[in-house]
Homo-oligomer: A and B are copies of this chain.
């Protein structure tokens, strides 16, 4: 049995006004991914509308999420939120280098 160690902050992409997702762990019931966002905003009028809840934490940098109805949620390093299923949201803005860890529940 080999235990492989990877580092969340290694091999960060160089992006600009963009984001990159990387799957770290996936099972039928869950998916864990690293998301790197660099001065990123979701496209205008785009909303995530997910059938399953998502738990997400900012591990480097900062970001503001926007929820439908005009609620903005500011997140700094270490802040985590649970996004309920079908809570429409988008990335309003991230800092120049924001690293997230997102845990998606699948098929709950």
Contact = CB atoms under 8 A, between A and B. Distances in A.
Secondary structure of the A contact surface, majority rule: strand
A79 interface: yes
A83 B4 CA distance: 9
- Residue of A10, A27, A74, A76 with highest tally of chain B CB at under 10 A: A27
Given A3-B83, A67-B3, A80-B6, A24 B101 contact: no
For chain A, which range describes its interface: under 10, 10 to 19, 20 to 34, or 35 or more residues?
A: 35 or more
A108 interface: yes
Contacts of A79: 5-8
Interface of A: 1, 3-10, 24-25, 27-30, 32, 53, 55, 57, 59, 65, 67, 69, 71, 73-76, 78-84, 87, 101, 103, 105-106, 108
- List the 7 shortest-distance A-B pairs measured between CB atoms, nearest first: A29-B29, A9-B78, A25-B55, A7-B78, A8-B78, A30-B30, A3-B73
